[in-house]
Amino acid sequence: MKIVILDGYTENPGDLSWEGLEKLGELTVYDRTSLTDPKEAISRIGGAEAVITNKTPIPAEVIKACPSIKYIGVLATGYNIVDVAAAKARGIPVCNIPTYGTDAVGQFAIALLLEICHHIGHHDRAVKEGRWEKNADWCFWDYPLIELAEKTLGIIGFGRIGQTTGRIAKALNMKVIAHDAYPNEAGRAIAEYAGLDELFARSDVIALHCPLFPETQGIINKANIAKMKDGVIILNNSRGPLVVEQDLADALNSGKVYAAGLDVVSSEPIQGDNPLLKAKNCIITPHISWAPKESRKRLMDIAVENLAAFVKGSPVNVVNR
């Protein structure tokens, strides 16, 4: 079986091994493939039977032009880059990686929050620039420092990742409330479930951990921000389009929202005209919540398991049954 990986570098920049996939067939790995020119993907897939992608699109045009394809694997949880309907029509299973970075993403959400509360990176640079050495007092700080104990964290989307974030927040002695379409007992052990408007009104910090659906797209918008406390902190390391970026930028610049910690934006890589780049007190990182080596190793292992199951005739994690 010929296996092609269209964009392997982000998953494996050299610190992991492709050995597991090499054992399943003749493997070709491309570091990057054009995100905009389907002809390059078609050329590289050639006669391969198994195609694995991270962010390189596989639209109907590519599926039609590559009749040898029998399997499409996605090196991520999200699979919107693949035309799953076109694949299904051809009998091609599309398999994703549903749960590999739960702990990493929850940890990162709290890391964004702690950076907002203490600006550790900024103060580290200030010390190394000589400001502490030259300071008239025995210490200094350039931003308000925030204690999280007894403050309320509202989490929108309370699945595995949301619950992980909630557990860490409780360890910081925060109060946790959550909004989710499917409340469950595991969630109730961590948080109090609340309606969305109630969550907006009560939360000192709001964290987004929900999928991108039509009903959640743009959930952080001018109207909903108006329902929030003055000085609220907003965190998003879920999906960029959950936020109306101009509305959030305006709220940051006015002070209605005190700070935002974002690991995702609406168009990635970020575009130079994104209003959040110049917004006040806005931390933006380049979509790296998922990227610790331990997390990527789990992703790799599951990708191997997915393809091995397909080879045995019993595919798993199929998103287009």
Residue 133 annotated in active site: no
What are the residues whose beta carbons fall under 8 Å from the beta carbon of 231, sequence distance 6 or more?
A: 204, 255, 256, 257, 258
- Cα three-residue angle 94-100-104, rounded to 5 degrees: 140
Amino acid type, 320: N
C-alpha separations of 231 from 59, 90, 110, 165, 226 in Å = 43, 52, 18, 21, 11
CB atoms under 10 Å from CB of 316, counted, come to: 15
Instruction: Identify the H or E element spanning 185.
Output: helix 185-188
Amino acid type, 128: K
Which one from 123, 179, 239, 296 is the annotated catalytic residue? 239
Q: Is the dihedral of CA 235, 79, 59, 308 positive or negative?
A: positive
Token pair belonging to 172: 């910081």
Which one from 22, 129, 215, 268 is the annotated catalytic residue? 268
Among the listed residues 233, 227, 239, 66, the one whose alpha carbon sits nearest the alpha carbon of residue 161: 239
Strands annotated E in 16-164: 26-29, 50-53, 71-74, 94-95, 152-156
54 vs 44: CA distance, rounded Å: 15
Residue 298 annotated in active site: no
Q: Is 27 helix (H, G, I), strand (E, B) or coil?
A: strand
Which one from 119, 179, 287, 298 is the annotated catalytic residue? 287
Residue 131 annotated in active site: no
Q: Among all residues, which ones are annotated catalytic?
A: 239, 268, 287
